[in-house]
Every structure is written in structure tokens, then in C-alpha cells.
Structure 1
Amino acid sequence: MKRRSLLLAGSGLGVSFWLGGCALPVFPKRPAASPHDALGWIHHENGRYTLRLPRAEMGQQIATALRQVAADELGVAAEAVAVRLAGTADLARVRATVGSESVRDFALPLAQACATLREAFARGETHGWRDADPLPPTALRSFRRPAGATPAPGARRPVPRVHDREIVTGAPLYVADVRLPGLLHGRVLRAPLSPELPSRVLGLDERAARAVPGFVALVRDQRLQQAQAEGLGIVARTPGALDRIEAALAVQWGVDGTGDDPAIARRIDVDAHAAQGRLPNTVLDEGRIDPAAPWDLDLRIDVPLAAHAAIEPRAAVAALDAAGVLDLWVGTQDAWYQRDVVGKALGRGETQLRVHPCRVGGAFGGKTICTVELEAALLCEAVRAPVKVQWTRTQEFRQGFHRPPSSHRLRARWRDGRLQDWQHHFASSHILFTAAGVPAWLQRITDVVAGDPGVARGAAPPYRAPRREVRFALARLPVFTGPWRGLGAGPNGLAIESAIDECAWLAGQDPVAFRLAHIGEPRLARVLRAAVQAAPPLPPATAGERRGRGVACGTYKQSSHAAVVADVSVAADGRVRVTRLGCAHDCGHVIDADGVRAQCEGNLVWGLGMALSDALTVADGRVASDSFASAPIPRLDAVPPLHVVLVDEGEPPGGAGETVIVAAAAAIANAVRAATGRRPTRFPLDPAAFAQT
């Protein structure tokens, strides 16, 4: 049974990305997944089921979760459903894998398609056309909860993880594993600074480069330009030869402009923006706040630039087949967008370009735009041979985009222990309308028309007050910023939960009780109580240390809720060690409990990094970090025991991939406040600020 050959051109709000040398932008498309589309995801042939995965698999184990949905609905064991990473030639267009949307938006259409297939088989029908029956969740096996059943996430027998054996045995999964006959290796050289700053080649030693063993080609093509940075392509027979060719070329670069940390801090200084008048972008404007009355809380929080730090540097392989069709192997969050961008740049229609997604070794929002994919395609066309391009770690830091820094001013007033006024002003740089893809003129238009919803994500507090105002300002920076796990929800949650915690301390109330008195969402109150109840007593401090416990909670995209309890030990010299992290998490109906727990644990570790280590410095117009040594991520010996409680009361599926990020870092900061009596206001934490004097 096969789906109809129908390609639906979906549309929706998207970010427009500018291609160097092209007159018009390319718009990512955001089609909704329908049951009819899902008929193309599940196939049965010769007694075997195959799920063509409509989502990018990047470690979040959506392949396992969707396979479980298919197996439950078909009435077979999960092992009976093979999973294949599907490319642009296999499926109708699906939208990018972002926003913790996969189970929420794709599980139901898949279940409906599988139910259609199952019922057709039960009637003995194996040929002909079928439209998927849009059954409600209550009529589907994979969503059904027996009447009177006690929710028990994880009670189901754990299913085998998709790709676990391949990962452990080193089987080919990633773009870097792709091997083709005659494969060459390419790199695009750019000035060693941010592509946001104009740069160009002033001179090079081509003769010396051609003399390097393994040299194949030097490629000058204006389409290799990234933003305002000219690109110079080199192709070699081995990866090692690329380094030697680059050294021999000794490219001299001309650069316009510069930038450093102080300049960036000035551009996003929230107080400087507020001094110029009302901040231009509104998140909340409820009631009339008196700006002249004294504030009970006046707190500033500053969060720095930070990297995605995916273990896998981005890569792509491009090859031309005998008919001249371009095949492109990618590690991306949106294979169809890669097809659109590369196709437009190379003048190729959809039938002349096939994009094959590989498993992604970490993305976190960082692999959403087209970079290395276009580089590989252009170099392949230039030399008429297969080419692999893999960025170095230094390129990841200097040419990719990062979490924008943000500056927050939070003020509050209360009466009789209840909030009356809440004001949150902040300034940041762009996330959805990232400078990595949007030119300055277009960004100025979006600033006026739409602001940046990514920057605003998570800025509406979950706490009630008669008067609430949340506004923000945007500033384009000399380095690229863009989507980072949870978009603005992580930094905004850190600021909000730090402020609400300080309100409780200043009002002389228990931080948990204060939150519960102001939370309007019952599900959020439920996870907060669950997280607190699951936490054991805080161990007493030993000689020379201070111990503290902090809590934080929040809602992600109005659909999932989390609360975190953190325990810390602070040494006399101010060094902070997190001794325990626990969370309660409610994303609605849980399909793959092990996968959800893993996402929660990952977010807890991200919170650890946000609080203690995540930062990138900028100097001389570039990100100064060039390796994990200069941009550290949490080490295993710094990760405490992690405890996760899943709450499932039968609500529709939400998202699990990013929810806990709204509370993890703040819980650590609040624990430091409890241990030391000093409120963390700048991140990552500086031990000197908490040293005993």
C-alpha cells in the first residue's frame, strides 16, 4: 500500500534567509503534517514495515518514539518496524525539526496513518488507494489510556533505541562517515573573524599552494561568500593536505570594522536602551505601572554569548551522478530547506537535486541554516567530482551563530506578600531573524513589523500580578547570533526565576510557597510540588563549605512544564559545586519515557553549563575561542546525580526537548543565593563574587 503521489506545498510564517549573489530571499516552508502525508511515512512490503522518518534524528531519539507509535498502532513489536532516515526524494516536504514539536505534531498523523494501514489489512485489502482516517486520539491505540488507569510513565517495557548498536560499534551514521569512490576533500577559507564584518582576499601565494602534494583546485566563486565575508575554496585529495594548502596560500585578508566584548555589552545594555525611551517590542502590557513609585525589587541580570558546542562539527558531501543530478548528504535540521537554498544558488530544480539526511551529532538549533552544504555543492560542481567539506572546531566557533547575550532589568512591588507590579525589560540580539542569514536592511524591517519571537520566548512570567509589563529591544551585533536550545527561554527563565526567588527572600517568604501563591497554571504548580517532594533533605555543610538548595520552574511554549531543585556546595574561595539536580517534568502524554528522561537530563546539564561555564569572548572582531579548551562545556566529573520525575495525567503530548532549560540554570543560581546570601547577577558565575572574606 503506497500513498498517492502528491506533493503538498505548505506555507507559514518563516524566516527569510539571504543568499549572497541572489536577488530574492529563500523562505523556509512550514507545512503542517497531515494524516495523508503520514501515509508516505509508513510502508509495508514483503511482510516488513519501514518507517521513513519525517524528522531529523539528532540524539533526541525521535526515531525511537515515532517507531513506538507506529508499532503500537500496527499491533507489532517495535523491532518489527525498521527505521530509515528519509530524504527529499522520499517524502513530501516536512518542516524543520525545531521547537520540541516532533511528538506533539507528528505522532498523531503517524498513528492515524498506521491505523488506516492496520484496518485495511484486517479487511484483507492490500492494493488500491487509501486516505488516512483522521481518528481522534481516544480512538488510537498509541494514545489510548485505559479507563481508571494510574499514570505510570516508564511502566512500558523499554524499547531498543534506534541506532544504539550502530553508535556503539562505529557503523556509518553521520555525514563524516560517507565514503564515495574518488572522494575529494574541500574547505572554504575566510578571514579569521566574524562573517558579519566585510572581508576580502588581498593576496595569496597560489604557486606555493599548487606545489603541495594532494592539491586539486583553488576555487574563486562569489557564491562562496558568507554574509559579508569572501570565501576562497580549496580542494585536496586528503583532509591533511587541506591544512598544508591553507598554510602555503598564506592568504592576506582585508577587513572592515571590528568588535569586542565591551562594544557588545554597550549595544545590549538594557539600561542604556531604557534611557532612550520606551523599549520597542512588547511581550506583555497589562495594567498601568507607576514608574515613579519605589520598587521593592530592582535587579539586573546579564547573560553572555554562548556556543551550541555540538560534538559533531557540521559537514556535507556532494556528488554528481551520471545523469548530472546532484546528491547531497547533510547533517541538518531541515533537509528541504537545504534543497531550496542550494537549488536556488546553483540554478537546480527539485528533480536535479536530492538531499539525504544523516544522523546529526548534536544541533540544538545551530544546524538550521545553509552553510557547509552550499560549500560542498559549489566545490563539487567546480571540480566535477565528489567533495566532502567538514568544518573545523575553530570554524564552528567563528563562522557559526551563537546564543545572543542578553541584559535584563527586573523590578517588582508587592503588598502583604502578593505581587502587585512586575516589570521585565531586556535587550538582546536576534534569534529567529538571525544575522547569519538575514541582511541588515531586512532585519530592520522585521524589527519594526514583528520584533523577534525567538528572543521573546519564555519572557511572559508564569506568575500572576495585577500589573505586568514585559518589553525588549534588539541590537545587531558584530558576531552572529541565532537559535540556541530553547531560543530565548533559557536566558529569560534564568532572569525571571532569579527575580521571583529574590522577591520571596526580600518578602520573608519560603521561595516554594511564594511561587505556588502566584502560579496560575495548575500543571506548573503540580510539577513544582512533585520536584520538591522528590528531593531528599539537604545534607549539612561540612567545615569550610556552605550548602544551599534552590528551586525554579517554568512553562515552555504553553504546552510543557518543569520544575528543578538544585543543591550546591560553595567552598570558601567561592567555587561552586552542584551536588544534586532533580526535576519534575510534564509534557503531557508520554510515549517513550526513557527518551523523555534523557531529554530532561540533557537540559539539566545545559543548565549546569549556563550557570557555571557557558561563555564566549569576542576580541578583534571575532570569537576568541577556537576549541573546547577555550570554550569549556561541563565535564563528567562536574555533573552531579540527576533525578527525573515524569508527570503524565493524560494531557495531549507537548514537547520534551527543551522544557527543563527554562528552570535548570536558575535553580542553581538560587541555590547559590541560599548558600551564600548573595544573589548571582552575572553568568557564568565568578567564584570571586562568592568567596568568604
Structure 2
Amino acid sequence: MSAVLSRRGVLAGLTVVLFSGCALPVIPKRPAPKLEDALGWIRHDGAGLYTLWLPRVEMGQGILTGLKQIACAELGVAWDAVTVKLPSTQDIPRVKATVGSDSIKDYALPLAQGCALLRDAVARGGFAAAGDKPPTPRWPTADRPDLRRPPLAQGEAIVTGRPLYVADVRRPGMVFGRVLYAPLSPEFASSPRAFDEAAARALPGFVALVRSPLFEQGQARGIAIVAATPGALDRITRALAVQWQMQTPSVGGRELLDVDARLPHAVHDDSVPREGAWDVDLRFDIPPATHASIEPRAAVAEFDAQGRLQLWVGSQDVFYQRDVVAKRLGLDDDEITVHSHRLGGAFGARTICTVELEAAVLARAVGKPVKVQWTRAQEFAQGFHRAPSRHRLRVRLKDGRLQHWWHAFASAHVLFTNAAMPPWMQSVSRFIGDAGVARGAKLPYRAALRETRFALQRLPVLTGPWRGLGAGPNHFAVESTIDECARLVGQDPLAFRLAHVEDARLARVLQRVAQAANWGQPLAGERVGRGLACGIYKDMSYAAVVADVAVAPDGAARVLRLWCAHDCGRVVNASQVRAQCEGNLVWCVGMVLVEQLPFEAGEVKAASFADSPIPRWGDIPQMHIELVDEGDAPTGAGETAMVAGGAAIANALRAATGVRLTSLPWRPTMPAQ
């Protein structure tokens, strides 16, 4: 069966039949935005002023600015005439999670139509209605020079440190909580066995020790402390000295991923003959990696005298937080109001309910507002991470062209994350695959026969959506192999790709990046190399990247320059799209040269960025971003460049050293030729 069936469709159907009687976790509801919804996002306040309730979560991607541009253009008003607010669950109808780089693609048109209706209604002194036919939307770059480069919404507040994030929330009488878990993956059973409650209570700032069956993650059971100040939490934790009852891990980590075993899920299903020699035969090993959001996740919860809950969150899906907390605490939806805040990074990490439920349980237990903010160590140990994967790619070539393409890979789950789904529910993926794992595995080049298959394995490390999902790892393996094919037949990597490419827009970004980087021009210096890669994100957005790298005598590698041609259709805010490209490219530098999450014996072995580093300022190269906008419908920019940046750097390393990078990240001790 194809790996691309929707998760919602499967869970609505198969799970009812296969798992009748099992407790079903809360499933996210993700309705497509419509004009009727958009009429609730934009409101006329009188005197030519408007309020836009943002139907997306702002997490650094600039969608607050982009959707405000569209609103101002359609309403025909100045920038300062529209105030943008992040809504609560009481302010607008349900919207789907902010995921998948789809905010402009899915929300620009309904918002533009809604604003156009409201504009005409205000002009005639009436009200916009869903039955009214909206005029043709105008785009902000078409005839409004003042909207082409507007100020960054909330930009001044960020620079001056005004409160924007959930960590900035202060409530009268607020206290601070933390839920403690064993230093072991929640895939293994653990629970508190003994602790020194008297020593904890004796410390200044101690408020409460709370035990609840709701403090659970997988098979892990926790215990919580509440303190008067954030600083007291560490002291109380040390004094409590919890001793844990822990199951001894009986399984390993990504060594369980076997690309030579049965591969039930197909992306390309031609039958490539196994007998005979292969011209290229490569294996790639992609480790787990953290999201590394600079702001650790946090939540504030407060119950009023009538038992209604106010919940302040930094989440990619505030309605899902309401659904989960309501179910777990036995509340009705109208008894909870969830307030959205700007996120200091998310990248797929904040799609499930964690600190939000913890804060709500503690607030009910102590009768006071409670803030819970994870430490960096908790982010590593209790959050989910990039799914590790292993790949084997084998290719036969004929007359300088791809003849047989065979790609086998095994991965931990992405959309069917083990951070939220028990084994019985995740087993549905045995039948339909995991579209997040499959993302980016589709070969965009011509070949006589193409076979791409994958297998899924639940691992002890928590895995789930990570920027681009499978697109980064899968394209890394594919584009590294394509580069090796070009080298084997003695062709220029650009010419080889253009001879095989099936999509005109992909060919266009290849040509544009090659022109920008002066592809083919010799590089000066020893052990300096240039690499190229490209790809398509979600069958809708395109990117190609050229990378220059230098490798020192001791093997240490540094990216010197990156060029990126990026096609996400119509561009609303060029500055923000360039910023998204740059952010993706920094992630690619980290993916290839820096990042991995150490995991041994069922435990994440990292407590800080010293243990699981991310790129630093000195690692960031010069970047040139070429935006390709030929008037196509807008698609997504938030994750697109992940399809090309990593492999371009690896291909440059190959050019500089003769070494094909097959296990991430690059290490200076790797052999050099």
C-alpha cells in the first residue's frame, strides 16, 4: 500500500476496526481554512482601524508580517491601521496547527477574500457576509510600494525585550512547577521508588510535592515539585534526591534499523532486478538530532473561582492543547481558554501536549497560577527528535544515464510519533507507512526503472517531526548518490542533473543557482571544494544550492559560501522568505558538520548545547539567496531549502577531499585523500 495516505483518514477508519476497545489518544483536528473562517479573523473597529486575529502561530517565520501585508493591501489601508493579535481559542474558530510551510499557501487567499469583502462592506456601510462574492484579491507587491518592505511585526518588541513569549507571562500569586522523570527513555518503564520529602520541604521556597497519574509519558511515571521561585526548583530537586525504579533497557538504538530486511512501503514501485553488478552502492547513516529551539517550551495555567481554566501556551496548535487538557482533566471545551503566544522557535517540536498539561495539573493541585518551563536538559530528554534513518542506494548506469535506481531505507517514525502514540496505535503504520518518513524520497530524475522502499521501526529514542520531516535526510542520501553517479561517468554534476530532471521548475532553480555561483569557475586553494544539490519540497516548492567548503590539514571542515535559488511561487515578503532560506541553510550546516544527539543504553546523554551542539556564528558562511518568482501560486518557504543544503555541503566535501560522507556529522578524523 502507498505510504502517502493521510494520518487523519487512517485513524478515523482503520483504528476503530483494528483497535476497538483501546483508549484512543486525542487526534489533532486540522480543518482546511475557508472564507467563512476568514470573516472571523478580520474585524473593523471603526474610524478606519482594523484588528486581524492571526490564524497562524508566529514562531519566527514572519507570518504575522506576511498576513498583515495581505490584509493591508486588500483593505486599502496604511500599515498602522491594522493591529494584529495572537488569538485565544475563544477569539476565532478552530484552525489547524501551524505546520508544513502552508501558511501563505492555504491562508493568503481566504484572508484576502475576507478582507476584500469587509472593505466593500465598510464602504457601503453594511456588513461582510459569507454569501457575498468577494472581488478579485490584490497582492501587496502589485501596486503598494509601501507594503513591499514593511517593518517586521513585533520586531521592535523583540529587540527591546517587551513581553511576547509565554515565559514572559506573570500572574498574581504565580508559583513555579517541574515534573521529574527518570533519566531513561519513556519507552521503558520507570517510576519514583523513594525520595526525601522532608529535606525538600525544609528548603526555603518549597510549596508542594504533587503526585498524579497524569504525570506520565509513555511508560514513565513522574513526580512534581512546586516552588515559590524558579531558582528554588533546582535546590528542591537536589534535596528530594528521587531514587528511580527503572526497567533495564533490552533493545538498542538506531542499530535496529535494517535496510536489508523486508521493506513493506513503496515510494517508487518498479521492480528493479537484484541480480547483476551495481555501478554505485552506498550506505548512509543519519543520527537523531534535537530541534534546538532557543526558547525552552513553557506554559502558565490558572483556575478561576468557578473552575474555569486559563492556559497560556507557546504551541503550534492551541486548539489541540485545549482538546488534550480538557479530556485529561475532565473539562468541557468552554471551560478552558488557551492563549497563544509567539514561539522562540518550534520546527515541529511543539505539536503535542507536554508542559501545558503539566501546568494545568499543578495549578489545580495547588490552587494557584503555575508556570512550568522545561530546562534544556528536559528538552533533550523529554522532547522528540529527528528520526534516525539508514539508507542503501544502488544504481546501474548505461551510456551515462540512470538505468536502475534502488533506494532502501529504514527509519523511526515521524508523523506517528512515539512521543504521543502507544505501540498498538503506532502499529497502524505497518499497513500505510508514514508520510513524514517518506517525504523527499521521491526521485525527481528520469530512470528506466525506479524502486524506493522503506521500513519503519519504533525506537527507544523519541522521534517525530523535525524541520522538513524526512525531506532533509532523504534528499541528503539521494543527492549525494546522484553526485557520485555524475562523478563515475565523468560528467559535470550540473549537466548530469539537467539531463535527467523531470520538472521544469527544478531545472530552473538549478540554472539560476549555477548562474549566481558562476558554476564551473575554478576555485583557488588546496582542499577547497564546490558541491551542488537540489530538490522539491512536498511536490510544491523548489530549491537548489551550491556550497563551497574548505578542509584544514587536520580534517576540520568549514563552509565558505552558500548560494540558494528558491522557488516557492508568488513571494509576499521577500525579506522573510530570504530569512527562511538562511535559517534552513544554517540547519544544513549543522546537520552535516555539527549536530547529533548522543543516546546510549536508553538514555539521552545530553544536558546542554555543550553536549549536543548547534552551529555558532563562526560556522555561518556567506549566503546569497536568489528568489525565483514567476507568478506561480504561493507554496511554502519554511522548510524548502532543507532539500538541498545538506547534500550540497557533502558534495563539496567530496570534491575537496575525495571522501564521500556517509555517516553524519563530518568528523575531522575522517580520512582525507
Q: TM-score, normalised by structure 2?
A: 0.95
1:583 alignment partner, one of 564, 577, 583: 564
1:405-428 CA distance string (max 9 Å, x none): 110000111211111111110001
Structure 1 residues 641 and 597: CA distance shift in structure 2, 3 A: same
1:274-320 CA distance string (max 9 Å, x none): xxxx411111113x311102111111111111000000000000001
Please say if 1:131 is aligned against 2:130.
Answer: yes
Please say if 1:475 is aligned against 2:475.
Answer: no
2:151 alignment partner, one of 156, 160, 167: 160
Structure 1 residue 541, shift from structure 2 partner: 3.6
Structure 1 residue 142, shift from structure 2 partner: 1.6
In structure 2, the partner of 1:663 is 644
Structure 1 residue 404, shift from structure 2 partner: 1.1
Question: What is the alpha-carbon distance in structure 2 between the residues aligned to residue 143 and residue 559 of structure 1?
Answer: 22
2:139 alignment partner, one of 137, 142, 152: 142
In structure 2, the partner of 1:5 is none
Superposed CA RMSD in Å reads 2.0
Question: What is the alpha-carbon distance in structure 2 between the residues aligned to residue 574 and residue 14 of structure 1?
Answer: 48
1:684 alignment partner, one of 639, 642, 665: 665
Write the letter of the residue equivalent to 1:119: D
2:484 alignment partner, one of 487, 497, 502: 502
Secondary structure of 2:294's aligned partner: coil
Write the letter of the residue equivalent to 2:323: D
List aligned pairs for 1:232-631, cutoff 5 A.
232-258=223-249, 263-271=252-260, 273=261, 278-286=262-270, 288-444=271-427, 446-536=428-518, 540-542=523-525, 545-631=526-612
Question: What is the alpha-carbon distance in structure 1 between the residues aligned to residue 503 and residue 523 of structure 2?
Answer: 34
Structure 1 residues 241 and 664: CA distance shift in structure 2, 3 A: same
Structure 1 residues 155 and 606: CA distance shift in structure 2, 3 A: farther
Structure 1 residues 536 and 596: CA distance shift in structure 2, 3 A: same
Structure 1 residues 482 and 425: CA distance shift in structure 2, 3 A: same
Structure 1 residue 98, shift from structure 2 partner: 0.3
Alignment size in residue pairs: 658
Secondary structure of 1:490's aligned partner: helix
In structure 2, the partner of 1:3 is none
Structure 1 residue 101, shift from structure 2 partner: 0.6
- Conserved? CA contact 1:364–1:485, under 8 Å: yes
1:572-599 CA distance string (max 9 Å, x none): 2211111001100000011011110000
Write the letter of the residue equivalent to 2:42: I
Structure 1 residue 448, shift from structure 2 partner: 2.2
- Conserved? CA contact 1:36–1:132, under 8 Å: no
In structure 2, the partner of 1:44 is 44
- Conserved? CA contact 1:366–1:483, under 8 Å: yes
In structure 2, the partner of 1:7 is none
Question: What is the alpha-carbon distance in structure 1 between the residues aligned to residue 131 and residue 77 of structure 2?
Answer: 19
Secondary structure of 1:188's aligned partner: strand
Q: TM-score, normalised by structure 1?
A: 0.92
Secondary structure of 2:559's aligned partner: strand
In structure 1, the partner of 2:219 is 228
Structure 1 residue 691, shift from structure 2 partner: 3.4
Write the letter of the residue equivalent to 2:186: P
Question: What is the alpha-carbon distance in structure 2 between the residues aligned to residue 510 and residue 43 of structure 1?
Answer: 56
In structure 2, the partner of 1:71 is 72
- Conserved? CA contact 2:659–2:672, under 8 Å: no
Write the letter of the residue equivalent to 2:594: S
Question: What is the alpha-carbon distance in structure 2 between the residues aligned to residue 376 and residue 634 of structure 1?
Answer: 32
Question: What is the alpha-carbon distance in structure 1 between the residues aligned to residue 583 and residue 223 of structure 2?
Answer: 38
Question: What is the alpha-carbon distance in structure 2 between the residues aligned to residue 354 and residue 125 of structure 1?
Answer: 33
Question: What is the alpha-carbon distance in structure 2 between the residues aligned to residue 597 and residue 502 of structure 1?
Answer: 30
- Conserved? CA contact 2:114–2:134, under 8 Å: no
Please say if 1:121 is aligned against 2:122.
Answer: yes
Question: What is the alpha-carbon distance in structure 2 between the residues aligned to residue 284 and residue 135 of structure 1?
Answer: 42
- Shifted more, 106-115 versus 673-682: the winner is 673-682
Structure 1 residue 81, shift from structure 2 partner: 1.1
Structure 1 residues 228 and 208: CA distance shift in structure 2, 3 A: same
- Conserved? CA contact 2:513–2:626, under 8 Å: yes
Structure 1 residue 676, shift from structure 2 partner: 1.4
Structure 1 residue 226, shift from structure 2 partner: 1.2
- Conserved? CA contact 1:259–1:478, under 8 Å: no
Secondary structure of 1:394's aligned partner: helix
Secondary structure of 2:284's aligned partner: strand
Write the letter of the residue equivalent to 1:228: Q
Secondary structure of 1:688's aligned partner: coil
- Conserved? CA contact 1:14–1:28, under 8 Å: no
Write the letter of the residue equivalent to 1:87: S
Write the letter of the residue equivalent to 2:632: E
Write the letter of the residue equivalent to 2:337: R
Structure 1 residue 76, shift from structure 2 partner: 1.3
Question: What is the alpha-carbon distance in structure 2 between the residues aligned to residue 476 and residue 680 of structure 1?
Answer: 26
List aligned pairs for 1:202-217, cutoff 5 A.
202-217=193-208
Write the letter of the residue equivalent to 2:592: A
Please say if 1:180 is aligned against 2:171.
Answer: yes
Structure 1 residue 231, shift from structure 2 partner: 1.3
Secondary structure of 2:100's aligned partner: coil
Question: What is the alpha-carbon distance in structure 2 between the residues aligned to residue 204 and residue 15 of structure 1?
Answer: 41
In structure 2, the partner of 1:646 is 627
In structure 1, the partner of 2:19 is none
Please say if 1:58 is aligned against 2:65.
Answer: no
- Conserved? CA contact 2:509–2:567, under 8 Å: yes
Question: What is the alpha-carbon distance in structure 2 between the residues aligned to residue 600 and residue 133 of structure 1?
Answer: 38
Secondary structure of 2:670's aligned partner: helix
Question: What is the alpha-carbon distance in structure 1 between the residues aligned to residue 217 and residue 133 of structure 2?
Answer: 44
Question: What is the alpha-carbon distance in structure 1 between the residues aligned to residue 234 and residue 81 of structure 2?
Answer: 46
In structure 2, the partner of 1:4 is none
Structure 1 residue 562, shift from structure 2 partner: 0.3
Structure 1 residue 15, shift from structure 2 partner: 7.0
Structure 1 residue 78, shift from structure 2 partner: 2.4
**Any unmatched runs of 5+ in structure 2?**
1-6, 16-21
- Conserved? CA contact 1:15–1:432, under 8 Å: no
- Conserved? CA contact 1:145–1:650, under 8 Å: no
Secondary structure of 1:462's aligned partner: coil
Secondary structure of 1:509's aligned partner: coil
**Any unmatched runs of 5+ in structure 1?**
1-10, 147-152
Write the letter of the residue equivalent to 1:101: D
Structure 1 residue 143, shift from structure 2 partner: 7.3
Structure 1 residues 476 and 134: CA distance shift in structure 2, 3 A: farther
Secondary structure of 2:527's aligned partner: strand
Write the letter of the residue equivalent to 2:199: A
1:111-147 CA distance string (max 9 Å, x none): 000010111122x2234x61165658xx21127969x
Secondary structure of 2:528's aligned partner: strand
Structure 1 residue 193, shift from structure 2 partner: 1.8
Question: What is the alpha-carbon distance in structure 2 between the residues aligned to residue 15 and residue 488 of structure 1?
Answer: 21
- Conserved? CA contact 1:577–1:638, under 8 Å: yes
Question: What is the alpha-carbon distance in structure 2 between the residues aligned to residue 13 and residue 210 of structure 1?
Answer: 50
In structure 2, the partner of 1:32 is 32
- Shifted more, 204-213 versus 657-666: the winner is 204-213
Structure 1 residues 354 and 156: CA distance shift in structure 2, 3 A: closer
1:352-376 CA distance string (max 9 Å, x none): 0000011000000001000000000
Question: What is the alpha-carbon distance in structure 2 between the residues aligned to residue 24 and residue 520 of structure 1?
Answer: 43
Write the letter of the residue equivalent to 1:660: A
